Amino acid sequence: MIQYLHKQLSTINNFNSMILSDKTLEKMIASKELIINPIASNSIQPASIDCHLGKHFLTIEDQEMTNITLDTPIKYREIETDSITIPAHSFLLATTEEYVELPSDITAFVEGRSSIGRMGLFIQNAGWVDPGFKGRITLELYNANSLPIKLQSGRRICQLVFCKMDQAAQNPYNGKYQGQEKSIGSRIFQDDEVK
């Protein structure tokens, strides 16, 4: 039992993944190992990088569908604007201004900013950006408030927290959202198990 515990502790001590600091992020951006474009001077936080709201949005065309399924495309309406209002208890897809490219040994978590969350606006993107991803990040926005929330493009909306993996991914991301330049709706109908 003692040998087993010693082995487990040794494995934990050899685990090299970590959250990246502002100093490390600045160095990686300067060397172009990590691409974030554009990058504002006030975007780099102590352990994250703030991202700004873009101008492209998608809403579900609920008048044209009777339900949403996992195996058929969803109909969306595109909106390109400098500001948008999300009605109470409503859902909207948005995109970041920033284009990102992650190396094969770095992953990122997408988190809402605390100040935004305190308004009742929930921000997600499934919470995860795979190593090797290239593109703008599609955000899922939900207004949990009883009042509409007006958003302005160019404002800081979320943050990326970067984590170094224990080793480079054997198969970096090359999926159905690779290279996205604007808000992209669900492509779950393209999943392998549907074919």
**Residue 126 pLDDT:** 64
How many domains are there within the chain? 1
Distance of CA 34 to the CA centre of its chain: 15
Which are the catalytic amino acids?
A: 140
Contact between 152 and 176 (Cβ < 8 Å): no
Encode burial over 116-133: b for 16+ CB neighbours within 10 A, e otherwise. beeebbebebeeebbbbb
What's the domain range around 72?
17-188
- Residue 97 to residue 55: CA distance in whole angstroms: 8
The CATH number of whichever domain residue 133 belongs to comes to 2.70.40.10
Indicate whether 74 belongs to any domain: yes
In a domain, 4, yes or no: no
Cβ neighbour number for residue 155 with a 10 Å cutoff: 13
What is the reported pLDDT for 182? Answer: 96
Tell whether 86 is covered by a domain: yes
Identify the pLDDT of residue 125: 62
pLDDT in tens, the chain (195 residues): 455 444 444 444 444 569 999 999 999 999 999 999 999 889 999 999 999 999 999 999 988 888 988 989 999 999 999 999 999 999 999 999 999 999 999 999 999 999 999 999 999 766 789 999 999 999 999 999 999 999 999 999 999 999 999 999 999 999 999 999 999 998 988 887 755
The H-assigned helical ranges of 40-181 are 114-117
- Its pTM stands at 0.86
Q: Is residue 81 part of a domain?
A: yes
* 10 located within any domain: no
- pLDDT value of residue 37: 97
| CB 149 within 8 Å of CB 121 | yes
